[in-house]
Amino acid sequence: MFPADTSPPIPLLYNTRSVPTKLVFGFLARPIYLLYWAEQGALNTMDSASTNQTENCDVAVIGAGPQGLLFATWLKQARPALNVVVVDRAAAPGHKIGESTLSGFCRAMRSTSIRHEVLQRLFYTKNGLGFFYADAQTRALQTAPEYITETFDETFQVERRACDSLLVANAQRAGVAVRFSHAVKPKESTFQAGANHLSCETPQGAATLQARLVVDASGPSSVLGRYFGGYAESNVPFQTSAAWAYFKNVKWLNEYTDWQNVAEFPRDEYTQHLCFKEGWVWYIPIVSWEKASDENLMAMVNYLADPETPMLSRDELSQKFDCPYEQIWSIGIVLRSDRDQVLNQGPEAAFDHYKRKIPALATLLEGAEILDDHYPNHSPYAVRKNFRRFAQQVTGDGWMLIGDAAFFIDPLRSPGLTGGVATAYQALQSVLAALDEGDLSQAQFAGYEAYVRELYDMLEEQNQIAYMSHNYPQAIALVRRFGEVSSRDHFNGICDEPYQMSDTNVWGHLCPEHRQRQRQVWQIMREEEIEVGNRCAIADQQPRDYERMMFRLREAVGAHLDQSMHLTPYIMQNPMEQGKLAPAQVRPKPTWVYPGQGGAPTADLVSGRA
């Protein structure tokens, strides 16, 4: 049973629905600007290293990424007297992959006093998720089978350097100490409930943080997860790998004509997915501030982090702080490791292969120019193999893992920032209770550990369902509708409310009723994929081989989705999409045999744990 919401919500300072999309003010006079930064000098620079070689604090957070900074800021808001220190091995926020945000993450940022208008200025608007079925016969996206999960509220495609810099400035304003150029050395550290000694290497030499609690938010590096020997990267089912690149001069999707269905927003304002049986392609437009210097970027985000400063337009901010920006696109290919090994030939070969295989992808990239050196230390094409992983142990005496340090799920449904911030908020509640009781032992965090396990299992199962839906065009729409119905039913009407415990029931998908239905959907799809795979090689499989899967899915959840049609705006806007879930008249072929006769898949295929 999901834990009851016993804690008061963190106050939200701005109602996003009442904010105009664009507020334009005149420039502040230059002398006033200089006076302002003279007064705010402590926030205009980042702490690169502490002058003290030994520092005492209540809570030390490893990693100055979104989850660590949000956790630290929430903790400081809830307990202002606590000394909270964030350490990061980098010298400053830098480029990372992971641009797509969802409602939960944006609401979490707003709950720490970041204004919604600030996000509108810095980042490209995202209003939902779009999915196309694309194969060799898909000549044009406008005619491809499509489903759009419309937005719950306005979210954004973020450039991580700018996003993380904003969160740093906001955390410092809340009183959190942020120490960059601090590389944690776990082998030289000691961990004990209430008395941790965290050893760090800095440009000035060794430094030690004496902390009652250490929270690892170091992302996939999982500093403590790996140190304690439980961050698994092998034997993970549905393992996937990705190749990606950044482009300019990509033709805007809204310039395409003759779309067969209606969308609420321009199609460029969705994270678009081109889905095929081996994996999928992402399409994300980004406002890039990469050419701005660290100093100028931090000056701009410090200005924006102050809730009292006038809100300028994007162009005014760019000119005022000498922070140039440009429009680029992030485009990547994610492949199931059990279905395609083309990435072994290199990321560029993967792009070339799928441009030949899927004409719609070739059309998408027609005329686009790849950015060779837009980001430092980033080759034109990047690759990351076998990135799905999880920690066997999430808590210990005096320490805990949050976000991607606890588990890393495939990015197909953008779960990283959303699920990660849910772990950060759940961890916050556990930490507050532990501090109040004076007990920071592992036993005190048992509820948090159980929550992380449950969330991982749900998200992993959900991702497998999404990948298996790529076997059949209409299955993509059915699976998306299935998730959207629960999400909209759970979160309707609360988008303007503070981030709270109900948000950690990610998209409402941890509710027992949804979990039961989701397990049924997974079981049907897994059985059918195994059965088809037993009689037909991947290269030879066609959508018609999965007709019975679609028939069974319609029987299982079709009536539920049709009864909930009012919770799927895309279906409501497109009458031709309505009524498609009535059971099809498909009779099973005699050669089709349920895998249960030879041994059905077990729950271990979902969690990857014995």
- Residue 273 to residue 267: CA distance in whole angstroms: 11
Q: What is the tens place of the pLDDT at every residue in 532-569?
A: 999 999 999 999 999 999 999 999 999 999 999 999 99
Can you give the pLDDT at residue 601? Answer: 40
The structure tokens listed for 232 are 């698994």
Q: Mind listing the pLDDT tens digit for each residue in 432-465?
A: 999 999 999 999 999 999 999 999 999 999 999 9
> At residue 596, does pLDDT exceed 80?
no
Determine contact, residues 560/554, Cβ cutoff 8 Å: no
What percent of the chain shows pLDDT beyond 70? 85
Give me the amino acid identity at 547: E
Lowest-confidence segment of 10-19, 52-61, 484-493 by average pLDDT: 10-19
Worst-scoring range by mean pLDDT, 18-27, 51-60, 326-335, 555-564? 18-27
Q: Give the pLDDT band of residue 10 (cuts 50, 70, 90).
A: very low
CB 207 within 8 A of CB 185: no
Greatest alpha-carbon pair distance for the chain in Å reads 83
Mean pLDDT of 401-406: 96
More confident residue, 204 or 33: 204
pLDDT tens-place string over residues 68-112: 999 999 999 999 999 999 999 999 999 999 999 998 999 999 999
pLDDT digits (tens, 9 = 90+) for 235-274: 677 899 999 999 999 999 999 999 999 999 999 999 999 9
Cα three-residue angle 301-307-311, rounded to 5 degrees: 70
Strands (E), 350-428: 369-370, 381-384, 389-391, 395-396, 399-401, 407-408
pLDDT in tens, 267-312: 999 999 999 999 999 999 999 999 999 999 999 999 999 999 999 9
- The yes-or-no verdict on residue 493 having pLDDT over 60 is yes
Between residues 319 and 489, which one has the greater pLDDT? 319
Beta-bridge partner residues of 335: 241, 279
Mean pLDDT score across all residues of the chain: 87
